[in-house]
Amino acid sequence: MSKRYWNIDLEEMMEARVHLGHKTRKWNPKMAPYIFTERKDTHIINLAKTARSLSEACDLLFDIARRGRKQFLIVGTKYQATDLVASAATEGRCHYVNRKWLGGMLTNWSTTETRLQKFKDLKKEQDTGRFNQLPKKEAAMLKRQLDQLQKYLGGIRYMTSLPDIAIITNQREESIALGECRTLGIPTICLVDTDCDPDLVDIPIPANDDGIASIQLILNRLTSAICEGRELRSLIESNKKKIKKRGGEDLT
């Protein structure tokens, strides 16, 4: 895995309150290596460790993105993360789940594919005006179905296979999603607060997983790495086409 410089600013993380952990009585002893100190019964996260983990996660995402058409999934259903997840996923052209995680969404992928097809079919019927041709009761029922599918599956509407990697914003809140990724061997990057178990994820990023500014900063860094990886791949492919074209011209 290539290492790059991501310009991660400790002061910026302090301002975003990334360092604020949970109350000391709620801690998980496995987080001890990531805790700097405690203040007023609250654990303070070691931001140097956060920066190191965040840099490692960015390196991994950059490498995956530059290797080709890979699928990234961002998961965050807690109210603080809902809008941030949708925004970051849109910016980084990732799939996302920011409402309730439906059990088996990944481990029972064939069922999820069936639901996604149903969602696409209903959306097409709505867009073509077919709902307007149906009896009001039937149209209302189909509209409710479409709204439900949009709510829970709208963020993975274009996901054609299992993701290559998952970014999870809250380990405890998204325990089912994390468990499914572990079962399927899907690599995970996860924000871990002082009450979490870092051993459950591939790259734990010690950080405040409740603060909006903290979640936003971490997600923005991760999706920027994805975008940079894709940009490099596009540049390489463009240069290859130019070289190939030039070689063909030389032959003529």
Tell me the domain boundaries of the chain.
8-105+161-242, 106-159
How does pLDDT run across 180-210, given as a tens digit for each residue?
999 999 999 999 999 999 999 999 999 999 9
Average pLDDT, the chain: 93
CA torsion sign, 191 to 193 to 196 to 198? positive
Q: Which CATH architecture has domain 8-105+161-242?
A: 3-Layer(aba) Sandwich (3.40)
Query: Tokens 């290539």 label which residue?
Result: 2
Q: Please say if the pLDDT value at position 62 is more than 60.
A: yes
The pLDDT assigned to 208 comes to 97
Q: Please say if the pLDDT value at position 245 is more than 80.
A: no
CATH no. of 106-159: 1.10.287.610
Question: Exposed/middle/buried for 193, CB within 10 Å: 0-12, 13-18, 19+?
Answer: buried
Nearest to 22 by CA among 34, 10, 4: 34
The pLDDT assigned to 68 comes to 82
Using 50, 70 and 90 to split pLDDT, how confident is the model at 162? very high
What value does the mean pLDDT take over residues 201-230? Answer: 96
Q: What is the pTM of this model?
A: 0.91
Using 50, 70 and 90 to split pLDDT, how confident is the model at 1? low
| Helices marked H in the chain | 10-15, 47-66, 82-92, 109-127, 136-153, 175-184, 212-251
**Residue 180, Cα to own-chain centre: how many angstroms?**
15
Q: What percent of the chain has pLDDT over 70?
A: 97
